Amino acid sequence: MSLNSYRTGPDEKGHFGKYGGRYVSETLMPLVHEVEQEYRKAIKDPEFLKELDYLNRVYIGRPSPLYYAERLTEHLGGAKIYFKREELNHTGAHKINHAIGQVLLAKRMGKTRVIAETGAGQHGVATATVAARFGLECTVFMGAVDIERQKPNVFRMKLLGAEVRPVTSGSATLKDAMNDALRDWVTNVHDTFYIIGTVAGPHPYPMMVRDFQSIIGRETREQIMAAEGRLPDSLVACVGGGSNAIGLFHPFLDDADVAMYAVEAAGHGVDTDKHAASITGGRAGVLHGNRTYLLQDEDGQIIEAHSISAGLDYPGIGPEHVWLHEQGRVNYVSATDDEALSAFQLCCKTEGIIPALESSHGLAHIIRMAPDLPKDHIIVLNLSGRGDKDIFTVAQALGQEI
């Protein structure tokens, strides 16, 4: 079946095909409905949009530049490569785009407290930042294991006035942090707004986070038209939960000539038990409020994800991605820890930009595809975050002491 548009989802119950939906406990259902209703009102309210636009410009620093990566292009000797520089945003990644949007909604709903889950700490830092900016109480749930691995971000969140609550349940990593955030939310439904860090969770979160992130793709469209007078041939982004990828892709989904590549984290390899590639190596299931592809065993128990990049280290993916995968609109590929590490170093040396390990997965795929493509083939990479946070991980992987 061919569709008129890939951009009309989700349906009113939050389904993208059979994925998405609202799989949360009954206590949360009225609140989840309320979030949806308030969100639909907010995005039609000129005052809300005006404030969002203002903060996007003067607080985040938007629009982020579209940058021609000339030396990398020369080095690879094929396609012409552009970077959409989300790493230049305030707090150093695209996460701030949806954190600002959600905190404005929280404020509008009269909530006095926000909570978030975080793995590497980027979404936690973005949430702590906007909570400080709006004077809201903030609690960030973070796996005890991740707290040890990401001390600088833990301290950042504390400086920003957030309480970082160590999560010891389950396996004490990102998925368990999300469980504990849900447990907190259900206990504090009256005053608390849950700022989810990706395009997952119960409806309306996958739609709402996507809408806030779509500014990436809308800007890219205008910027590439200004630079090249035409749309790009390929878009590339890394995908864990999938917020930066959907943000870049969504405004281009109906442009049939624009190919899209979402790069999952293959960890030690998708044929090993240490990866985070939910589409390549997972199957349909229900977790954290939505039906999507999950890493799970035969019995439906969730398996821990692995990636060198903590931001991709999640055993699920946003439901709209699964739908786009099954429709064949977006190509889901993967890159290993080692490939990402090489791409990370190449980007540092050829462009003078230290990319996040997450974004380095996207770059790793470009390194594979660009050399065989003609010089007039235009690729845009979503450089979703900066890599300063990753230098300790990279040093360790390279066997160097800092």
Partner 1 sequence: MSRLSAKFEALKAEGRSAFVTFVTAGDPGYDASLAILKGLPGAGADIIELGMPFTDPSADGPAIDKAAQRALKAGGSMKNTLEMVRSFRVDDATTPIVLMGYFNPVYAYGIDRFVADATKAGVDGLIIVDLPPEEDEELRLPANAAGIDVIRLATPTSDDHRLGTVLSGASGFVYYVAVAGVTGGKSATTDDIAAAVKRIKAKTSLPVAVGFGIRTPEQAGSVASVADAAVVGSAIVQMIADGLDEEGNAKDGMVEQVLDFTRKLAEGVKSAQQEKGCC
Residues marked as catalytic: 95, 117, 384
| Residue 183 CB, nearest approach to partner 1 (Å) | 5
Mark residues 181-220: x for contact with partner 1 by CB under 8 A, - for none.
Answer: -xx--xx-xx------------------------------
Stretch that binds partner 1, among 208-216, 267-275, 289-297, 352-360 (CB under 8 A): 289-297
Distances (CA, A) of 56 to 39, 63, 103, 104: 18, 8, 13, 12
- Is 37 a binder of partner 1 (CB under 8 A)? no
| Candidate residues 178, 209, 258, 363; the one interacting with partner 1 per rule CB under 8 A | 178
CA distance 20 to 24: 12
CA 86 to chain centre: 12
**Of 28-36, 39-47, 323-331, 384-392: span binding partner 1 (CB under 8 A):** 28-36
Beta strands in 218-300 (DSSP E): 234-239, 259-267, 283-287, 289-294
- Residue 36 within binding range of partner 1, rule CB under 8 A: no
Q: Do residues 62 and 247 lie in contact, with contact meaning Cβ atoms separated by under 8 Å? A: no
Sequential DSSP letters for 74-117: HHHTSSEEEEEEGGGSGGGBTHHHHHHHHHHHHHHTT--EEEEE
Residue 335 has φ and ψ, to the nearest 5°, of -135, 140
Tell me if 68 contacts partner 1 by CB under 8 A.
no
User: In the chain, what is the greatest distance between 2 CA atoms, to the nearest angstrom?
Assistant: 57
95 binds partner 1 (CB under 8 A): no
Q: Residue 217: in which H helix or E strand, if any?
A: helix 215-228
**Is the Cβ of residue 221 or residue 288 nearer to partner 1 in the bound state?**
288
| Choice between 176 and 320, CB closer to partner 1 | 176
Residue 280 near residue 307, CB atoms below 8 Å: no
289-294 sheet: strands from edge to edge: 15-16, 19-23, 289-294, 283-287
174 vs 263, beta carbon nearer partner 1: 174
Among 27, 37, 112, 396, interactor with partner 1 by CB under 8 A: 27
Q: How far is the CB of 314 from partner 1 (least distance, A)?
A: 12
d(CA 249, CA 121) in angstroms, rounded, equals 24
Percentages (nearest 5) of helix, strand, coil residues in the chain: 50, 20, 30
**Residue 57 or 190 with smaller CB distance to partner 1:** 190
Q: Does 384 bind partner 1 (CB under 8 A)?
A: no
Q: Which of 47, 298, 328, 402 binds partner 1 (CB under 8 A)?
A: 298
Among 47, 257, 271, 299, binds partner 1 (CB under 8 A): 299
Interface pick for partner 1 out of 5, 26, 44, 229 (rule CB under 8 A): 26
Stretch that binds partner 1, among 96-104, 108-116, 292-300, 385-393 (CB under 8 A): 292-300
Token representation of residue 58? 């003067």
Q: Quick check: helix, strand or coil at residue 304?
A: coil
CA 105 to chain centre: 19
| Site residues (CB under 8 A) for partner 1, limited to 131-170 | 169-170
Q: Does residue number 177 form part of the binding site for partner 1 (CB under 8 A)? A: no
Determine if 21 is a binding residue for partner 1 (CB under 8 A). yes
Q: Which residues bind partner 1 (CB under 8 A)?
A: 13, 21-31, 169-170, 175-176, 178-179, 182-183, 186-187, 189-190, 284-289, 294, 296, 298-302
